[in-house]
Structure 1
């Protein structure tokens, strides 16, 4: 167990509301949020984890074993539950099996429990325990309507969602999912997916003068217009679409374009082969840990995320925009409607349409000031997706539950 942060204290002479957050494992994107929640006087936060992956388990899908090089369990109270899964994993439903969660919730007696969707057995075990113990259970999942589902799945979702006391929407597409399945509007609260905007903005500013040096270290040409792919090299992220789009550029543009791939995974060899066959100038940087991410954004001009609907949000878009870079995404990416304003903070293309993507990239190459102009707009726009919004949504939900009402 890690120690509680000093910010967890009495607020206005009243005991803070007890909130338990249930997660499958420590996640680099969520640790900063938990630290900020721990500093809210009105909240007493405990995070329950189903498992803490080993470097090998953490590296599933990344193409390499690793440990995140940023603190994940400091600055807030957390506990590790006993995971009885036969094959522990954070990527499968049965990989997180924690039947002891009911006993721990009975001991903690929280005013509310917040679960991260229903993608792991632990999440449903928490919901079931809450129902038995009379504890309001809130959900902050990622599901949206951007991919088709069978009618029976929609029915199951409707039945499942009725059991939660409130719904914290990570974005517009996620909010529409709750509405579609009959969740009352007044119980859907705004808690968008965010990153530490101030950190990425500061790191971008600090690296401006070193851009040529950073590019050289990554194998990027000093004068090239660099299109960045940042993430796992896996089918749902469709990195090959970017390479094929660059391969379709007019000759004069293609000579000035370069792709920077920051990531690794099962499609690495195929990406290298396609880049070689199409003659696309590409620098493969491999897996990049958290502390080095600002370097790849500093080296790039535009982020490209061609993912399918499996990309339920796309936090690399938040990071790129906070770093002053525009984003080009497929319409299937979950954050597209919220973050990517066509012609302003980036561009949107239809999933799999590499010709349309090539047309977008051509405009950046033929209008040298376009990426910088959109990057400035993106850095302003992303400020409206902040920790303050998430904390406000969570706090409102917990306070409502503490009054004995549903959100």
Structure 2
């Protein structure tokens, strides 16, 4: 039996939630889904092979939420979904408001995570909007339960890896990098949560190495981070790549990835690295520690540039150490994730709301 699934998300640019939506929408046909996405657009929206409905980004303003809800209502009426899947709390509020005057489909919220201080307010919204809440990591679910949300389903995030289109040397040549230079990659939006400042401080602490740091992603902090790189004297060893749609190619070209976030759900950037066999240096926060529990990377304390620098130094200086660390996780595969979502969505459609 087919099921019509409308994903609602703020934007479809760079980010873990956006990558999950793109992967689920693309894989859904094999599970009998007819999928569509309602979002503010972005490079992942441009690459979708399912219908996309343009929705203005709400940006947590009352007027913005109302405009987003009106556009989502238009998408809802046009697509007529059997179930709506909202990604994160804001999208859940928009989707519920959009359906308010209509015959309402079941609403699932996929909770990708918020900062530690925001779990209480997130739970209050989720109680009023969602029929089912899915957490992308066990640690994320534990935080929601501690904040008072009793019913939480855990479906651990996964990736739908695409093979690189070109080889390591070709990618490096395009980036102006020689084959033998050590290269680290950070895949993250340039927003406060991701703590690029810690990463840049750590990169400066490496000293006069010839290693290069690639920063793939964009955001409100980019000008400040570019200034910080100059002030730290590492601007010649840091490349700001902006938003990229060639993550698989970049992963084929680098020696490790690094993520210095203050908090995470189950970060897709880490899972993409594991799937590609690229070792990870990442901060010891919720989903990161969970993703790396069986190997694949080095976990470091949050907010400590010296610890990050030490881990980077150990891996960048020794190929054998990198190979030993790069034990890819096997449980974060897209098929397992899709089977879990398919079962849950069909239960909701059939009237068994949780």
| TM-score of the two chains, using structure 2 as the length reference | 0.81
1:267 and 2:228 aligned: no
CA distance in 1, matches of 2:46, 2:334: 18
User: Which residue of structure 2 aligns with residue 352 of structure 1?
Assistant: 303
Q: Which residue, out of 117, 123, 126, partners 1:157?
A: 123
1:148 and 2:108 aligned: no
Question: Where in structure 2 are the equivalents of 1:214-363 lying within 5 Å?
Answer: 214-249=171-206, 254-255=208-209, 257-264=211-218, 265-276=222-233, 282-287=237-242, 289-291=244-246, 293-309=247-263, 311-332=264-285, 335-341=287-293, 344-363=295-314
CA distance in 2, matches of 1:288, 1:398: 32
User: Which residue of structure 1 aligns with residue 36 of structure 2?
Assistant: 47
- Kindly indicate whether the alpha-carbon contact (under 8 Å) linking 1:243 and 1:280 is maintained by their aligned counterparts in 2: no
- Kindly indicate whether the alpha-carbon contact (under 8 Å) linking 2:266 and 2:291 is maintained by their aligned counterparts in 1: no
Aligned length: 342
Deviations 1:137-167 (A, max 9, x none): 11112125x5234xxx616624632642212
Where 2:290 maps in the other structure, the secondary structure is helix
- Kindly indicate whether the alpha-carbon contact (under 8 Å) linking 1:262 and 1:296 is maintained by their aligned counterparts in 2: no
Deviations 1:146-193 (A, max 9, x none): 5234xxx616624632642212222223222332244445x5141x33
Deviations 1:199-245 (A, max 9, x none): 1xx328x525x3xx543442335433322223344443222322322
Alpha carbons of 1:353 and 1:137: their partners in 2 closer, same or farther (altered >3 Å)? Answer: same
CA distance in 1, matches of 2:90, 2:127: 13
User: Which residue of structure 2 aligns with residue 24 of structure 1?
Assistant: 10
User: Which residue of structure 2 aligns with residue 65 of structure 1?
Assistant: none
User: Which residue of structure 2 aligns with residue 73 of structure 1?
Assistant: 48
Cα shift at 1:259: 2.6
Cα shift at 1:71: 4.7
- Kindly indicate whether the alpha-carbon contact (under 8 Å) linking 1:130 and 1:136 is maintained by their aligned counterparts in 2: no
Q: Which residue, out of 57, 70, 77, partners 1:89?
A: 57
5+ residue gaps, structure 2: none
Where 2:31 maps in the other structure, the secondary structure is coil
- Kindly indicate whether the alpha-carbon contact (under 8 Å) linking 1:245 and 1:358 is maintained by their aligned counterparts in 2: yes
5+ residue gaps, structure 1: 1-10, 53-57, 59-67
Cα shift at 1:290: 0.9
Cα shift at 1:345: 1.0
Where 1:298 maps in the other structure, the secondary structure is helix
CA distance in 2, matches of 1:238, 1:232: 10
User: Which residue of structure 2 aligns with residue 400 of structure 1?
Assistant: 347
CA distance in 2, matches of 1:234, 1:155: 21
The ranges of structure 1 where at least 4 consecutive aligned residues each deviate by more than 6 angstroms after the TM superposition are none
Deviations 1:366-400 (A, max 9, x none): 5431112222x12xx0x321222332222122221
User: Which residue of structure 2 aligns with residue 188 of structure 1?
Assistant: 153
Note the aligned Cα RMSD (angstroms): 3.3
User: Which residue of structure 1 aligns with residue 138 of structure 2?
Assistant: 172
CA distance in 2, matches of 1:69, 1:102: 22
User: Which residue of structure 2 aligns with residue 124 of structure 1?
Assistant: 93
1:207 and 2:159 aligned: no
- Kindly indicate whether the alpha-carbon contact (under 8 Å) linking 2:89 and 2:111 is maintained by their aligned counterparts in 1: yes
Where 1:328 maps in the other structure, the secondary structure is strand
